[in-house]
Amino acid sequence: MTDDVTIRAAAGSDLDALAELAGSRDRAEVRLQAAARGDDSMLVAVTAGVVVGVNSVRWRDGCDPPHPWLYGLAVDASHRRRGIGTELVRAAETMSSERDAGTVSLDVDVDDPAAIAFYEQLGYVIARAHEHRWRAIDPRTGAVTGEGIVPTWIMRRPLDQR
Ligand SMILES: CC(C)(COP(=O)(O)OP(=O)(O)OC[C@H]1O[C@@H](n2cnc3c(N)ncnc32)[C@H](O)[C@@H]1OP(=O)(O)O)[C@@H](O)C(=O)NCCC(=O)NCCS
């Protein structure tokens, strides 16, 4: 990893910084809420006091139970190809091992070869096709404000490979 990057748990005070990385402020807030409930863990990468990357792990009710479900990985475009994405994934795997998970799981859009290449070089293997049902949620009311289905590949990595 670049030596000036720290991985830590996301905090409510990161919300402004996370809005862009998560795709929207509401999405970032919903993820912070899930982490505060303990449904998820949410990790951020910080350099020079600035949040430049994020990753979440869903511990229950992910898309490929019983495995921990990694989602929402993003690194700021100006900080890519420096190992930050790798460190965010490895930190999520370490947390999963500490919870006695044997495998971690995630999905990638079928038309996203860059993401597939990124995860393959980290040891992830396509396990099966998946129809990912996404939902946009209003963090203030919990109301579903949008939903859809995206074709994805589920990718898994056994944690005893290290
Ligand atoms: C995918 C993403 C998280 C990678 O973050 P990153 O910090 O740049 O990743 P790393 O620097 O750890 O990359 C490690 C290796 O992965 C591979 N890799 C990373 N990005 C790649 C790309 N766009 N195309 C092909 N291989 C890639 C390379 O082998 C790279 O090593 P190298 O730089 O020595 O060649 C980042 O590009 C991103 O945020 N993309 C937009 C959101 C996204 O696609 N998220 C994941 C899908 S859910």
The phi, psi pair for 124, rounded to 5°, reads -85, 145
Q: How far apart are CA 43 and CA 55, in angstroms?
A: 5
Report CA(87)–ligand 1 centroid distance (Å).
11
Looking at every residue in the chain, the average pLDDT score rounds to 95
The mean pLDDT of 34-48, rounded to a whole number, is 97
Identify the DSSP state of 138. -
Say whether 93 sits in a helix, a strand or coil.
helix
Our mutation pick for probing the ligand 1 site, out of 2, 54, 80, counting the most ligand atoms within 8 A of Cβ, is 80
pLDDT in the model for residue 59: 97
Name the residue range of residue 15's domain.
5-161
Mention every residue, 6+ apart, whose C-beta is less than 8 A from residue 34. Answer: 40, 42, 56, 58
86 CA from centroid of ligand 1 (Å): 8
| pLDDT at 160 (0 to 100) | 80
Q: Write down the pTM of the prediction.
A: 0.96
Residues 118-159 have pLDDT tens digits of: 999 999 999 999 999 999 999 999 999 999 999 999 999 999
The domain that holds 101 is classified in CATH as: 3.40.630.30
Per-residue pLDDT, 1: 52
How many structural domains comprise the chain? 1
Give the closest residue (by CA) to ligand 1 atom 40.
74
What pLDDT is attached to residue 93? 98
Residue 71 and residue 27 in contact, taking contact as beta carbons nearer than 8 Å: no
Per-residue pLDDT averaged across 39-63, rounded? 96
Q: What is the mean pLDDT of residues 74-88?
A: 97
